[in-house]
Amino acid sequence: MYLDLTGRTALITGAGRGIGRAIARKLAAAGASVMLNDLDPEPAQETKALVEQDGKESVRVLSGDITELGFPEKLVDSTLSEFGTIDIVVNNAGYTWDSAIHKTTDDQFQAMLDIHVVAPFRVLRAASAWLRETAKREIREGRRMMRKVVNITSVSAVDGISGQSGYGSGKAAVIGLTKVLAKEWGSLNVNVNAVAYGFIQTRLTQPRGKEDGEIEIKGRNVKLGIESALMGIMKEQTPLGRLGSAEDAAGPVIFFCSPLSDYVSGEVLVCSGGSRMPVR
């Protein structure tokens, strides 16, 4: 089925690499204008170049730290200034910072909450005034314009993964936010859903020891990747027989961004190839 999102505008955080990039390209290919956000300017510009290479020109970039106080408001205001509307919000930005709970510091735990639930909350709060005013006007005019919010969560929130007390807590919290906003914004014709990923092949799930195996967050170097042995176990336990790609991961998000999900709200769709998390 061909999806036509012409005239729609999508704001996507964490759009510089991996899943976020795949989501941006698919939404743009369906005709949506896209505002790309990423912490790092270079990858965000690379995504923009790829979208333009795909033949789509309605794309803008605002790089910056989504966890910085005031930045979510700036991102929302910039999107409205550039495109005049926000019809889709994909809260995708995130990273893992793992350790057993007895080794997890307050700063480490708070960092996971900040990126995975506080930042999405602030983005959606910043957009709320415009969404409410616009929806109420459309309803008075007898028009139903469905808008979409897709929050990215994880099987770590659904099943639990050892060593991820912070990550799992942040991702579980965004499920709560999703379900609350589905009720608050239902009367405004906003669908609010979440996608919970299993092991998708990105730099966050690459084997440890790769060259790009660290990121710098607020002056701290955070190691990325997982144990190679765990990846092998997950592949063996996945009924589909493989780990997911960024393209695989983008599919459920596009569904939630499209008219196909106009009567679906408050749901968590697990995208894991059928696997459940092993004990380790």
- Active site residues per annotation: 167
Which residue, 76, 69, 67, 161, is CA-closest to 112?
67
Which residue, 232, 142, 132, is CA-closest to 184?
132
Q: Would strands 220-223 and 33-36 be described as parallel, antiparallel, or unpaired?
A: unpaired
End-to-end CA distance of the chain: 41
Q: Is 12 exposed, middle or buried (0-12, 13-18, 19+ CB in 10 A)?
A: buried
CA angle, 263 then 58 then 18, to 5°:
70
CA angle, 132 then 58 then 187, to 5°:
20
Q: Would strands 147-154 and 190-197 be described as parallel, antiparallel, or unpaired?
A: parallel
Beta bridge partners of 190: 147
Identify the three-state secondary structure at position 93: coil
The dihedral sign for the CA sequence 125, 34, 157, 209 = negative
Q: How many CB atoms lie within 10 A of CB 241?
A: 9
